[in-house]
Structure 1
């Protein structure tokens, strides 16, 4: 799906996280995207060079930068919305509505289990 975009699957995942939860730290984005902080630092540099994200100081912590999706990043995600939905539909096509709901619930539970305690 992303072959012509110049964006990797991991970068796309990070962009979708930012679409849902913009204004988060790089550390939180790394956790939510299931990559190491070092991998996220490299990824953010690449995304920032392409102007898909921006970073700004956190008003609550001067040393921390918050990551935001730019309009260019939003445009890129919008360009792949239909293809993303088609892949998801194909993946779920053999499941009933109840099975889809159960899968979504199970994945949400697994994701919450991986999150560090606050």
Structure 2
């Protein structure tokens, strides 16, 4: 018996996310960090000097959860918080050399997971998929949230 409809794209994206998260958890555990902590570090690698609120939005966690993540990463010496010279009430967060080194240590394992997941795609197809996923994320961020 075949399904009346193919699986929804949202379902497939969620299945990929769960599979990737499980694999990431396995390779990151020996480094002493969680998937969410790793995500925060990679966001900071791309966007140093973020506030905790900005980092929470980019990492897809609540501000309250980010407080614990920032505390743990700071205690581990992976990030540093400094006062923003342009706004003395704002603290910015950046990687320490230890945080940069940890990401470098994780890179081969993470690259291997990405290659296993998307190795069947050409470079052009990977670029296209990346663009589509970024477009989808932006569209959802820009759309008003409604509940009917």
1:114 and 1:58 map into 2 onto residues whose CA distance is 30
Larger RCO, structure (CA 8 Å, separation 6 or more): 1
Query: Which deviates more, 9-18 or 81-90?
Result: 81-90
1:4 has 2:30 as partner: yes
CA RMSD of aligned residues (A): 1.6
User: Given the two structures, how large is their TM-score scaled by the length of structure 2?
Assistant: 0.74
56, 73, 82: which one aligns with 1:30? 56
What do the CA deviations read for 1:23-48 (whole angstroms, capped 9, x no partner)?
11111111111111111111000000
Is 1:44 aligned with 2:67?
no
Secondary structure of 1:24 counterpart: coil
**CA shift at 1:116, angstroms?**
6.2
- 1:14 aligns with one of 37, 40, 49: 40
- Please name the residue that 1:62 is paired with: 88
Larger Rg: 2
Provide the secondary structure at the position in 1 that maps to 2:30. coil
TM-score (structure 1 length as normaliser): 0.91
Task: Name the one with the larger strand percent.
Answer: 1
Q: In the TM superposition, what is the alpha-carbon distance from 1:111 to its structure 2 partner?
A: 2.7
- Return the structure number with greater helix share: 2
